[in-house]
């Protein structure tokens, strides 16, 4: 029996999974991205991935607006809607937690306001409570430039302060990037 358990542990150790993180767009829409966007904008929306490559000057502006540097060159956007209307947009990004990346999806309505925030992959061993809807709901309705000071405008979670702040900074950064590049989304 003992050897059986050890064999099972080894089998399980060699299984790995990574849903939706690091997928370059355009390309297939990751399943968890599609699921989140359809939860927000409706089951019938068509999701089209769009790559927006940021210029250095755009990244500098985003950094000033959000006080959070934009390390990546590419903004990974997913346009949601039908042939003639846009229901909203999704923006996929990573932010650094205490020691590992947190993959999250920001959903933005046509008015530029946050429609939802979803934590797609949380890799840290502590602080996963930022996935709770009570925390994520705080962002809904906020737009680029709105105050989002952690601990004041956004309540951080006790024991998950770093993750709470990281996601708050990430949302602020993506809203600024979206506002700046929206005209380039086709």
Partner 1 sequence: MRSHPAIFFSGDFHPAFFQPFPRVFFRIVCVFSMLSAFSSAGARAQTVEATTIGGYGELHYNDADGSPRGSLDFHRLVLYVGHTFDEELSFYSEIELEHTRIEAGADEGGEIAIEQAYLDWRFAGTTGLRAGIVLIPVGFINEHHEPPTFNGVERPNVDKTIIPTTWREAGLGLYGKFGEGVSFQAYLVAGLEAPGFSGSGGIRGGRQEGFRSDPVNPSFTGRVDWFADPSVRIGTSCFVGNTTGGNAAMGSGTLLLWSGDVHFTSGGLSLRGTGAVEFLSDASKINDAMRDGTGALTTMIADRMYGYYLEAAYDVLPLVAPGTTRSLSLFGRYEKYNTQAAVTGFVTDPRNDRNEITVGATFKPTYNTAFKLDYQFLNNAADLNSNMLNAGIGFFFN
Cβ 7 to partner 1 shortest distance, Å: 10
Task: Supply the DSSP string of 90-126, one letter for each residue.
Answer: EEEEEEE-SSSEEEEEEEE-TTS-EEEEEEEEE--SS
- Name which of 144 and 169 has its Cβ closer to partner 1: 169
Cβ 134 to partner 1 shortest distance, Å: 5
**Residues found near partner 1 in the complex (CB under 8 A):** 2, 5-6, 8-9, 11-13, 15-19, 21-22, 96-100, 121-123, 125-126, 128-129, 131-135, 138, 147, 149-152, 155-159, 161-162, 164-165
- Name which of 87 and 136 has its Cβ closer to partner 1: 136
- Name which of 89 and 139 has its Cβ closer to partner 1: 139
The SS3 of residue 65 is helix
Cβ 21 to partner 1 shortest distance, Å: 7
Of 138, 148, 135, nearest to 174 (Cα)? 148
In sign, the C-alpha dihedral spanning 5, 11, 13, 15 is negative
Of 103, 102, 149, nearest to 126 (Cα)? 102
């Amino acid at each position: 029996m003992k050897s059986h358990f050890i064999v099972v542990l080894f089998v399980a150790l060699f299984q790995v999974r990574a849903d939706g993180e690091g997928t370059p767009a355009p390309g297939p829409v990751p399943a968890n991205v599609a699921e989140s966007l359809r939860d927000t904008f409706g089951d019938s929306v068509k999701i089209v991935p769009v790559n927006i490559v940021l210029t250095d000057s755009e990244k500098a502006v985003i950094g000033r607006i959000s006080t959070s540097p934009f390390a990546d060159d590419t903004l990974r956007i997913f346009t949601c809607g039908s042939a003639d209307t846009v229901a909203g947009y999704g923006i996929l990004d990573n932010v650094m937690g205490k020691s590992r990346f947190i993959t999250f999806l920001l959903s933005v309505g046509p008015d530029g306001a946050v429609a939802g925030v979803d934590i797609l992959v949380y890799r840290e061993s502590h602080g996963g409570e930022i996935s709770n809807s009570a925390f994520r709901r705080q962002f809904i309705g906020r737009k680029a430039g709105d105050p989002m000071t952690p601990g004041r405008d956004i309540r951080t979670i006790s024991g998950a302060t770093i993750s709470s702040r990281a996601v708050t900074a990430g949302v602020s950064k993506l809203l600024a990037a979206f506002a700046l590049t929206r005209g380039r989304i086709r």
